[in-house]
Amino acid sequence: MKTYLDNNATTRMAPEVLDAMMPFFNDQYGNPSSFHTFGSALTEDIEIARQQVADLIGAFPSEIIFTSGGTESDNTALFYGIGADSGKPGLVTSVVEHPAVLETAGYLEQAGHPLGLVKVKSSGCVNMDSLEEQVTPNTGLVSIMKANNETGVIMPIREAAEIAHRAGALFHTDAVQAVGKIPVDVKVEGIDLLSLSAHKFHGPKGVGALYIRKGLKLNPFMHGGHQESGMRSGTYNIAGIVGLGKAAEMARYFIAEEALKTSYLLEKLESGILKECPGAVIVGASAERLPNTATVLFTGVESEAVLTLIDLSGICVSSGSACSTGSKDPSYVLTSMGISVTDANTAIRFSLSMYTSDQEIDYVLEVLPPIIEKLRKISPYTV
């Protein structure tokens, strides 16, 4: 029995999304940038998708630029957001950001942009006092994620944006893990730039979007054509864009329903683990979290051993971000919260979706406790 609980890495594509995309692999294969109507007629499909994405986050269609996904959107926001005001070269971000933000920030620091790193509380939430300290009159861009991909902790984005704006800085949020799971409104929350990715909410891989607030002038970040108002050149991924639009439309209508279902199943999973696996700890339990995400410390048991055995039972989970797979280092997100290296190496992340079933949760609660008990018996650590 395959039990997939790694939806923060990627989600199953909704059948409705695949159905919407299929015509553009077959009959409607034209290039939207062509002069002839066989291609140019597809521009309407792109604009429908742009409206669907805009509606999901409370934006205007003209503020949506299609990209290849979250990493491109994050890189673009940082590279060109920081250059919007040459007199304010400073960049501020948090220590728990996704590598697409942190590694880009490190590159920009080497290129001469002062970098401020904001600490987090033991709950995993951004420390607002630390943010106030890091943002200075020299700061041109602040980037704080909407929700953490490992812990699911939701950040106080509106307050963070207000701090950035008081200093005359732009505000970007990596909302890749939040969009489609919880309501996001760029106008209400004061967001200037926002990154999202289709495959995190039942859309296709390889397509995403960058929201750029109306009136904000950024330099083009891909050259060679006129697409996306000259901001992002290249032949349109028409099937992917249509898939993103359909996924956004579905998320908009079903976000409350999915949140209710996943939060119920997550509570069932967490309570079952705490009952059946003594010594287990839910990371960020005191913070507001995504309704689908739980990272659990199985103290005394290395996560690599748990992942190996649980995978043999057909259960798909992770020990952190998919982008960090293969790293021997403990999660920097967890150690930034004050969790010891030893305990950080016992972390398992469970992330659910609208396709997760009661039966899958029951199966995990049947298979997991004996594995933890077995490993603890041979572990050199005590609980």
Token digits of residue 1: 């029995």
Q: 3-state secondary structure string, the chain?
A: CCEECECCCCCCCCHHHHHHHHHHCCCCCCCCCCCCHHHHCCHHHHHHHHHHHHHHHCCCHHHEEEECCHHHHHHHHHHHHCCCCCCCCEEEEECCCCHHHHHHHHHHHHCCCCEEEECECCCCCECHHHHHHHCCCCEEEEECCCECCCCCEECCHHHHHHHHHHCCCEEEEECCCCECCECCCCCCCCCCEEEEEHHHHCCCCCCEEEEECCCCCCCCCECCCCCHHHCECCCCCHHHHHHHHHHHHHHHHHHHHHHHHHHHHHHHHHHHHHHHCCCEEECCCCCCECCCEEEEEECCCCHHHHHHHHHHCCEECECCCHHHCCCCCCCHHHHHCCCCHHHHCCEEEEECCCCCCHHHHHHHHHHHHHHHHHHHHHCCCCC
Q: Which amino acid is at 242?
A: V
Query: Other C-beta atoms within 10 Å of 224: how many?
Result: 8
Measured between alpha carbons, how far is 315 from 21 in angstroms, rounded to an integer? 29
As annotated, the active-site residues are 323
